[in-house]
Amino acid sequence: MARTFGVPWPALNDGLAYSDVVKSVGGDLTLIQFYSSKYANSAPPQGWLLRIANGQVTIDDHVVTDPETKLRVGSVLVYRRLPWEEPSAPYSLEVLYEDDELLALNKPSGLQVLPGGLFQQRTVLTQLQWEACKFIASSTAPEISKVQNQHPVPVHRLGRGTSGILLCAKTKRAKVELASYFADGTSVVKQGETHAHPGCVRKISKFYLALVGGIIDKDEVLIESPIGIIHYPGVAKGLYAASASGKPALSKVTVRERNLERNQTLVQVEIQTGRPHQIRIHLAFMGHPLVGDPLYAAGGRPTSIPSDHNNTDFAEDGGYCKPSDPLPGDCGYHLHAHRLILRHPSTSQMIEISAPPPAALRQSEAAGSTGWSPATD
């Protein structure tokens, strides 16, 4: 039986602390001017006034509630975000593969990999940290010595709504080596099956299963649409989308089954590059968005661009209310990282890891199991 681990989430997280050192004070810079200008994406001016009045800001370790306080060069400012209840998320993780350097997990849909946005505690990284602390607390001295340098961390990301294989490094050496695998999309380890280049096998290959809308006629499709960043309110650094001026991206789509009754296609996707949301964008670009995807529409871009924040609209904690428009982290689509092939960072042996797909992505069972026909061999 596969090993699983995970601790139920507390009702509230621990909050967050953000530190700044004042670099300059041109024009008698005040506390409210500093925060409302530097962190305009976090909250409108009224929200920052609320946070300051609430005693959530300190200057050189002293709570300051006057927003007009003049700042001095070198002063240390700390804003403490109050603990909050994060949205619901699963917590149990299944171990698919483990040795002294690698850990492969089966991530459930709905669980974020790294902290970001509303999810600062309810992440895979937090569960890894808690599991490490739990092991150390119950271990003998020799066991603790063995794992002192092992701190599992994810080496790539899966979207919150994406399930399947998540690869983690347990040592610094493995982390550096695996990071180079993901960065180098043309590395050759042996002659063999064609991937990015004829006669080459990459150091790491990832295969996904996805359920898309519409019927894809061809059994194989190569998608090469560049992916770039566009302005999208609610996403501070911009939204990744199909863009002629973006970075090169390559996905190989293979049809597994078609369902004429439901007008859906089950596909396997091998990604040759690792752009954010690449599969969702590429399948939408070819006119077949993932079934249930709340954000990406045909063409690989959102159906519409929402209006910018209303500066008078802020939540109880002073920050902006969560946008009502779809965001990249929203779930609902069917995408699963089901197979991973990689060269072990120490032994150089090729390892293959697989994760059983959820019911909606199993062949001949997708979306109710009726009407499905396999692709032509």
Average pLDDT over residues 51-77: 97
Instruction: Count other C-beta atoms under 10 Å from residue 46's C-beta.
Output: 14
**What domains are there in the chain, each with its CATH number?**
16-81 (3.10.290.10), 87-183 (3.30.2350.10), 204-374 (3.30.2350.10)
Residue 21 to residue 154: CA distance in whole angstroms: 31
At 315-369, the pLDDT tens digits run 778 887 778 889 999 999 999 999 999 999 999 999 999 999 999 999 765 555 6
The whole-angstrom distance between residue 131's C-alpha and the CA centroid of its chain comes to 21
Q: What is the pTM of this model?
A: 0.88
State the burial class of residue 149 (Cβ atoms within 10 Å of its Cβ: 0-12, 13-18, 19+): exposed
Asked whether the beta carbons of 52 and 79 are under 8 A apart, the reply is: no
Asked if residue 4 has pLDDT above 90, the reply is yes
At 288-316, the pLDDT tens digits run 999 999 999 999 999 888 776 554 567 77
What pLDDT does residue 364 have? 65
